[in-house]
Chain A
């Protein structure tokens, strides 16, 4: 069974610090990876997608992918209290008709 594993947290960091969120996946055929942010009571919001090994930066967010280790991470620089949310990692395999497999999410709390 294809799985995406995340530490449920909570991960607590002080304001201004770097928050590091990690994810591993079991399906070696996965080609696409996504990070979603979900505020309490809201729907998941796509914040990053990554398809190739290495780093991808977008503002304060950096996604990192290592396919050999089946590992994906999300770094949030200069963390703000508004970043406090649950972060969901997802993997996709085009051979599975483009459906995504989601982890259960990591709760991040940024303390002022």
Chain B
């Protein structure tokens, strides 16, 4: 099975430009998460979706950031306009909630990430 797929893997853009990051979750997974990772702040959750519906976007840093999940197999994270402080690695992860013993499992699997550099 293919894992989580992200594109592009690297993006270099100039300040003020629009950036769109793409993610295809693992087939059959019902939750999708967008993270940002920097040395200073570590791994930050930006937004997540359950069954294509945005559940919590409180981690989105500003209105310049937006995310969509039009169907179960595709999501985008858009930054418009981009700024140098947006430079980071952006990860998409997906998970499937299922019963294990008397509890639930919701292991997340990460894509390879998009390294964004805004100059």
Contacts and interface: CB of A to CB of B under 8 A. Distances in A.
A100 interface: yes
A102 B106 CA distance: 14
State the majority secondary structure of interface residues on B: strand
Interface stretch (A11-19, A41-49, A62-70, A75-83): A41-49
Contacts of A98: 31, 50, 95, 97, 104, 106
Contacts of A99: 33, 45, 48, 56
A51 B56 contact: no
Given A44-B91, A99-B45, A94 B104 contact: yes
Contacts of B56: 97, 99
B96 to A, nearest CB: 10
B113 A46 contact: no
B7 to A, nearest CB: 14
Interface in B42-67: 42-43, 45, 48, 50, 55-56
Given A42-B113, A97-B50, 10 more contacts: A32-B103, A34-B108, A44-B91, A46-B109, A52-B101, A97-B55, A97-B56, A98-B104, A98-B106, A100-B106
Contacts of A88: 43
B103 A31 contact: yes
Nearest to A104: B42
Nearest to A98: B106
B107 interface: yes
B112 A102 contact: no
Nearest to A99: B48
A92 B106 contact: yes
A51 B111 CA distance: 24
Contacts of B55: 97
Given A51-B105, A94-B106, A43 B91 contact: yes
10 contacts: A43-B91, A43-B111, A43-B113, A94-B106, A97-B48, A97-B50, A98-B104, A98-B106, A99-B48, A102-B42
B43 A102 contact: yes
A31 B113 CA distance: 27
Given A43-B113, A44-B91, A32 B108 contact: no
